[in-house]
């Protein structure tokens, strides 16, 4: 499936785990389009953010069942990508946060 480059990266993911990974192993996290694969994620990060990518790890997160009284609902599924940058590369958007 062909996904536009701007639609692959939904938003950056800022958590304590990703912050510690960024400091230790130069890895950043993104919420990505559910149909995007590793190659599309790598190309999107390299062209849009202008950094070199070493590897991409992808996780599919299943939505949780949530209840409010007797009503039950389900959160939507989403996809998370851990992008390891090459040595010496940095993202300015994470440096200011």
Which residue ranges make up each domain of the chain?
A: 5-89
CA dist., res. 56 & res. 37, Å (int): 10
pLDDT of residue 48: 94
Rounded to an integer, what distance in angstroms lies between the CA atom of residue 45 and that of residue 63?
Answer: 25
The pLDDT, as a whole number, for residue 1 is 72
Angular region, 10: left φ>0, alpha ψ -120 to 50, beta rest: alpha
If one counts every other C-beta atom within 10 angstroms of the C-beta of residue 47, the result is: 12
Q: 56 near 8, Cβ under 8 Å?
A: no
Superfamily of domain 5-89: RRM (RNA recognition motif) domain (3.30.70.330)
**Which residue's structure tokens are 């919420």?**
31
pLDDT-flagged residues of the chain (< 70): 94-97
pLDDT of residue 30: 96
CA dist 91 and 84 (Å) reads 11
For 49, phi then psi, to 5°, come to -100, -5
The reported pLDDT for the residue numbered 2 is: 83
């Amino acid at each position: 499936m062909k996904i536009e480059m701007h639609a692959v990266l939904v938003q950056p993911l800022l958590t304590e785990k990703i912050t510690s990974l960024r400091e230790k192993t130069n890895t950043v996290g993104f919420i990505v389009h559910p149909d995007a694969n590793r190659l599309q994620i790598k190309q999107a990060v390299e062209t849009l953010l202008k950094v070199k990518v070493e590897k991409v790890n992808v996780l599919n997160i299943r939505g949780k069942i949530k209840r409010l009284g007797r009503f039950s609902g389900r959160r939507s599924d989403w996809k998370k990508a851990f992008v390891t940058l090459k040595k010496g590369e940095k993202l300015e958007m994470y440096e200011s946060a």
